[in-house]
Structures are given as structure tokens and as C-alpha cells.
Structure 1
Amino acid sequence: MTSDLNINLHRRSFLAAAAASLALPRVALAQDAALKIGYVSPQTGPLAVFGETDSFIVDALRAALSDGIDTAGGKRQVEIILRDSQSQSSRAAEVAAELIDADGVHLMLVSATPDTTNPVSDQCELNEVPCISTAAPWEAWYFGRGGTPEKGFDWTYHYFFGLDDAINIYTSMWNKLDTNKKVGCLFPNDADGNAWADPAHGLPFHLPTKGYEVINPGSFANNTDNFSAHIAAFKEAGCEIITGVLNPPDWNTFWKQAKQQGFAPKIATIAKALVFPAAVESLGPLADGLTTEVVWSPFHPYASSVTGQSALALADAWTAASGKAWTPPLGWTHSIFEVAIDTLKRSADPTDRTAIRDALATTDLATIIGQINFTKGPFGKNVCVTPTVGGQWRIDADGKPALDIIANDTVPAVALTAELRALPV
């Protein structure tokens, strides 16, 4: 972990736990058994909205892969093993160790947020297990684990947008309104918040280069029940824009208190909390006009390399099965398995972790979330940057939230569905 990013993931404690696990009997990687893919995500706890679609995606892929896949070693069955991080970093590290030592997975997958991706990736790096991660800004994953431009990682690979990509689409939305360019920032004291607040790589570095002034009253603990000090600071500074990266319960608390205390910015653009329909719906009419980044949507012109489904078809299938609106995890969860299957198919030996790692490093695959290429990242390997578009929530006649695409500068192929509106006064 770099001193620049004060991300308190206690990485050393995770590595110590992983080292202790080496004393456990290691499961042999059988040459004629199914190829095992482990998948860790927050399926319960405050980050559960990230894992809402996991069972749906995995069940569909198990059916699609029921006849096995063609590999260098012939036709092989694929076994997918899910584990719940319970939205806790320590639990994420624990279940990753179990997947490595007890289940003997050939390849590890992990999503979402640095609280999950980083400890799992650290376990895999230490134990020499190939790992693919997503759904966390790449800087928080890379620098937060001690990566440098000169030295990356040997076993772990990640794809998602970066903070500069998020800021590009945020300012694209903000530039559509007449504001004083004063931005009030909400940064929790967690891995995500510390990455977004980092002066070297986060919003305090990027926003001034776009002509925006950062007002940061300081970090706060997750599950805070009183944002009065932040609201007062934003009102005093005259902030007309609010941004940050919050868990859904914290954003709901802040936004309701802001309304109660007469704070009315012209636009609010929030990562994490406003990505998911289930989280936004709890705000009721207060959600109208809020904005966020959109990593994947039914409007993205991509298709699955495994099932052939378009983004729209995948979203429709989810709605038909669940009765719920589409949600971005559908895309990134499906895509991480696309990368995994492609890697196993291309591996010189799909039962050998080193051979799998070598195939992973050369990935260049068109997926339902877009192109994933690990050879053209910021530092030449380990990272693929996937762009994001901008979205705004509206409340339909039935009272349900719907997300419009209102900024596509970074991905023009994603069609706009509406124009930006200022927040209702």
C-alpha cells in the first residue's frame, strides 16, 4: 500500500492470514476433474446490492456451460463455486483462502468494491493463483495494494473505470448546467473513500484541472447518522454541486438531512449509492434528478462471448426472472465469467495455474461490457480501463425509478436517452 493512498485495508493482516493458511493441506489440482472457478462477492451486508444478480448470472452460465468447454486438454466441465464476503474485508480474505486451499480452484474471480477485491487479490498474489477482479476503480485496486508504475503484480488482473474516467463523465454532466463550480465532496473513511479523496490520484487532484473547486469537510465513518457538519460546510461554501462515493444507507441519510436543512445543490452525482435501482427506490421522490456513472446498461451495444446475448436481452431476461429493473452488476458480473472462460479455453494447460495466468495476461476479448485487453493498460499489464457514461434518475408514473443515459462523451456508441435536468428545487 502506498503512502499516497491512505487506504486502511490492513493488507499486512490479510497476508499474514494467508501465510498461515499455507500450513493447511493443499488440495491437488486434478488433471481429469472439472475446472474450478471461485467467485467472491458481497451477497449480504451493506454492499449486497453489488451481488444482487450473482445467482441469476451464475445459474444461467452453468446452464450454458453444461456440455463443458473446449480446451487444450480436450472437453472439460466447469465448476463455479460462489462465496459471500458478507461485505467484510476480513471475510473476503477468509473465503478466498478456503477456495484456494480447501476447494483447489484453478482460477479466482472477485467483485466488488476495494473492500472485497483487494483482500481476495492479495490472497491470490501470495498463493500464486490467477485472479480476475472488477467493480472497483482501478486506482483503488492497484495503488491500494502497493502497485507502482514500475512494478505491478504477477497473478492478479483487474478491469473497471478509473477515477479520471469518472471525473471526465461527471464534469461532462456538470458542464451542461450553469454553476459556480464549487463541489462539495463526501468521502467515507474506507477503501473507496480514501481512494477518491487521495490528493495524488483522486478528486482533489483531478477536479481543479477541470476548473472545479473542491470543498472537503473531512472523511466520516460508514453508517454515520448525522451529516449536519458536512451540510453546514457545503452551505457556507456555497456548493452547487455534490459528489462522493457512499454506501446506499449513508447517501440516503445525507440526502434526507440535506433536504430537511434547506441545502439544495443544482446537481448531485454520487458513485456506488446511486448505481442500483434497489438502493435508489428507497429514496422515493427524493431520487428524482440524481446522477451517477453507468458502467453498463441495456443501451450498451455489446454482446456476450459465451451466450451471444445482447445487453438488452440480458437485462430483459433478468427482469422476466426477477420482476426487477435492470441493474449494472448484470453486465460486470456476466463479463468477468466471460473473461474466465476465454482464459481457460486459451490456456496451454487449463489445470495449471501458471499456464492459466499466462493466458490471462494476454486477454483481448469482446464482452457484454466492452473490450477487455490486459496488454494495453496504464502500466502495460494487470489493468484494463473500461469507460463509463453518465446517467440520471427519474421517477416514472408508477413511482419506480428509471435511469436515463444523459452523457456519452466517453462511449459515443451508447445512445443518449434523455437530456440532463437540474435537480428539482
Structure 2
Amino acid sequence: MECENGTVGRAQTVGVVVARTGRLARLGDPLAYVMGLLAPKLRGMRLVSRDSRSSAEGAREAVRELVEQEGARIVLTLAGTKVLPAVADACERAEVPCLSSTFPWQVYYYGRGATALRPFRWTYHFCWGLDDIAETFADLWESVDGTDRGPVGCLWNDGPQGSWSRHSEHGFVPAAHARGHRLVDPPAYREPAAGLDGHVAALAEAGVGIVTSAATGADLAVFRRAARARGLPLRMITCSRWLAYPPVATATGEPPQAQVATLVYWSPAHPYRSSVDGMTAAELAEAYERATGNQWLQPLGLAYALFEVAAHALETAADPGDPAAVAAAIGATRLDTVAGPLDWTSGPVPNVATVRLAGGQWQRGRTHPYELVVVDNRRVPGLPVGGELVALG
């Protein structure tokens, strides 16, 4: 797909790797929408996309086509445990700047082999970290347990989500331990989960009342059925995966995400606006719903910010036609975006800027069947609380 903005002359090509087919196709919706929305507004930029086909191989091929056939000066992407690193690695090899998001920065950075002494040269990222998730979830756990902190059960797989959550230095575990929480982690399960009775039994034996997870919606449903059958008295479930997208009610009743607490990285209530045209977060969400007929979703704000940062880098680069100059411009970027303030000059590691997190919960809504309600705003200045945390029923 190509989006022209009517600019004549030497427009700089921005390549976009977006999933349009395969199992991640729904994750590509916000990026595809924002690309069409911003193309007429980004003067001097030509936007061209390629389908990742929801695979690492497809992602690498997409980068090759964007660079060799379209002359992309910068490549943008988001989402996909295997796809996003494949895009970034392909750009690093091709020596073309890449900007990505919606992937915990520790996995992006250390998982691809960088160190503080050996950072990437061409690839840049903005997101929250696994430690930020742990801090946000601990805020929610403590709103239920207070100072009487019981054990927290873990529902983690044997894939990268689970292994990185367990990482002793860069993962979720050390941050949770630093807050004084004891984690109960049964043996890792393989996706898709055929049954999680053993996990439920282990958590019941440990006296767990709160569970934290990085499960898919399907596996979360398996766990909740097993917990109900066992009579496990859960007060809260926090989950960091697949919770960015609105739940859909099923013929058998509530979706597995109902009343599950999660992280909130963007919403219409966030007090941010676009550096391109001043559009607010609320206006962006409204425009998306009006144009697509679908409920707003969290990645929308970060997808928009990708283009904001790309435009800023191309405008401020000493030579926008020189990939090294564009990369240097990203690394020097400090910009207020519709996804919040982004600062690559003071990131936790080189090449990374962070995104602030709030605590939220999927609750029955007024406008939509289920809505993401902000229930804890202490880490996001200016973000209003939308409601109270509801105990699991």
C-alpha cells in the first residue's frame, strides 16, 4: 500500500512493515489506519507499506522490498513477538534506521544482543519495560492486599513471554521482589494450553488469591475455567498480553478478559496531543471509531507516535537523505506526542525511550460492551481515574 500526500519534489520515503494477513492481521489495523490518516498531513514524506504476513520471514522480506525497491529512508513497525525483532534486525543489517514500539524494551534490547557498551546503531524503540509492568501491577495488587501481602501466582508460558518475565536481571521478577511480593511460579506451560489444572492446584496449595499472567486470551479462558472448577478464590488477575484489544463476548458468556486488570499505555483520556496537527488523544480515538466502526484500541496512540517521530527525525536530520543522519536525529529526539513525552536522550539504555503506564481493568461499559477503565493513575500525570477496581466475581 502507498499513501501519497501530494507533495512534489524529493519526498523522503517512509517504509511501514504492517501485518495485513496471517494471525497478527488484527494487530496491523491501527498502524494501517494511522498511515492513511497522516499521509496527507506529512509534507515531504511518502508512506509505503509491505505486509509482514505475520511471520519473521515475511517481515525480513518486507524490509528488503521497502529498502531496495522503494528507497525507504526509515522503517516503522509495531507488534509481534517474532515479527518486530525480525524487522529491527533486518534494518540493522541493511543499515537503515528503524523505529518500533509495543514490545517491552528489555526484550527488544537485550533479547537482540545489545549491551550498554555495544548498543545498536540503526534501530530505535519506544515502549514500557517489564519492570514498569511489575510496578504497575504491584500498585494494583497492593490496592487489594494493602500491607498484608499474600503470595502472587504466576501463569507464564515456556516461550519468550514467560522466560523474559522470569529473567533474574532484566525481567518482571526482580521488580516484583523489590516491592516485597512473593511469586509462586508453577512449571511453564506450552501454548496453546490443553489444560491448566496442575497450575491451579499448585496455586491453591500456596494460598494464592492474586494471579499475574502473560497468557493469550484463549489460555486465560482455560485457566479461569479450571480455577472456577477448583473453587480457587481469586481476588484479582493481572495480565499484560492481548489485553490491549477490546474483549468480545462469546456465546458461552463473558470473554476471558472481563474484570481482568491490565496496563494502560494509551487511552482517549490521556492528556496528550499530536506534534503534527494538535489532534488530541480523544479526537484520535473518536476519528478511528467513526472511520472504522470499531472500538478504539490502545496501540492506536503508539502507531500515530511512530509517524510523529519519523517526521521529526526527517525534519531535523542534517541530511534527510543520509541514513546515518536520520538515525542520529532519532537518537537526539525529545518530543511531545499523542502517546506522551518521548525522550531518547535519557532512556534507560541507548536507542530506547520509555512510555508511562497506568493501571486499568476491562469492565462492562456504557458505549461498548466492555471498556478499559483507568483505575490507578499515579504514574501518569494529568490522567483522570475512570472508575474503581472491581473484585473478581
Given the two structures, how large is their TM-score scaled by the length of structure 2?
0.91
Residues 164 and 170, structure 2, Cα contact 8 Å, conserved in 1: yes
Quote the offset at 1:98 in angstroms: 2.5
SS at match of 1:324: coil
Answer yes or no: is 1:400 the counterpart of 2:369.
Answer: yes
1:139 — aligned with what? 106
Provide closer, same or farther for how the CA distance between residues 85 and 259 of structure 1 changes in structure 2, counting only shifts above 3 A: farther
Quote the offset at 1:216 in angstroms: 1.4
5+ residue gaps, structure 1: 1-30, 69-75
Answer yes or no: is 1:189 the counterpart of 2:189.
Answer: no
Residues 287 and 401, structure 1, Cα contact 8 Å, conserved in 2: no
Given the two structures, how large is their TM-score scaled by the length of structure 1?
0.84
Q: What is the 5 A alignment of 1:216-255? A: 216-255=185-224
SS at match of 2:219: helix
Residues 27-66 of structure 1: CA deviation (Å, up to 9, x unaligned): xxxx95431111123344444443222222111111323x
SS at match of 2:169: coil
Quote the offset at 1:223 in angstroms: 2.1
Give the distance between the partners of 1:398 and 1:315, measured in 2 at CA.
13
Residues 181 and 211, structure 1, Cα contact 8 Å, conserved in 2: no
Provide closer, same or farther for how the CA distance between residues 256 and 61 of structure 1 changes in structure 2, counting only shifts above 3 A: farther
Give the distance between the partners of 1:130 and 1:398, measured in 2 at CA.
41
Count of aligned pairs between the two proteins: 382
SS at match of 2:165: helix
2:32 — aligned with what? 55
Give the distance between the partners of 1:41 and 1:217, measured in 2 at CA.
36
Paired-residue identity, % = 34
Give the distance between the partners of 2:52 and 2:155, measured in 1 at CA.
25
Give the aligned CA root-mean-square deviation in angstroms.
2.1
Quote the offset at 1:111 in angstroms: 0.5
Give the distance between the partners of 1:34 and 1:384, measured in 2 at CA.
27
1:41 — aligned with what? 18
With CA pairs under 8 Å and 6+ residues apart, which has the higher RCO, 1 or 2? 1
Q: What is the 5 A alignment of 1:269-284? A: 269-277=238-246, 279=247, 281-282=249-250, 284=254
Structure 1 residue corresponding to 2:169, chosen from 165, 180, 200: 200
1:310 — aligned with what? 280
Provide closer, same or farther for how the CA distance between residues 221 and 335 of structure 1 changes in structure 2, counting only shifts above 3 A: same
Residues 174-203 of structure 1: CA deviation (Å, up to 9, x unaligned): 111126431111222333332222122212
2:259 — aligned with what? 289
1:368 — aligned with what? 338
Give the distance between the partners of 2:232 and 2:215, measured in 1 at CA.
18
1:87 — aligned with what? 54
Provide closer, same or farther for how the CA distance between residues 140 and 37 of structure 1 changes in structure 2, counting only shifts above 3 A: same
Give the distance between the partners of 2:356 and 2:183, measured in 1 at CA.
23
Give the distance between the partners of 1:40 and 1:243, measured in 2 at CA.
31
Give the distance between the partners of 1:134 and 1:128, measured in 2 at CA.
19
Give the distance between the partners of 1:320 and 1:300, measured in 2 at CA.
19
2:128 — aligned with what? 161
Provide closer, same or farther for how the CA distance between residues 198 and 45 of structure 1 changes in structure 2, counting only shifts above 3 A: farther
Provide closer, same or farther for how the CA distance between residues 383 and 258 of structure 1 changes in structure 2, counting only shifts above 3 A: same
| Higher mean C-alpha deviation, range 234-243 or range 160-169 | 234-243
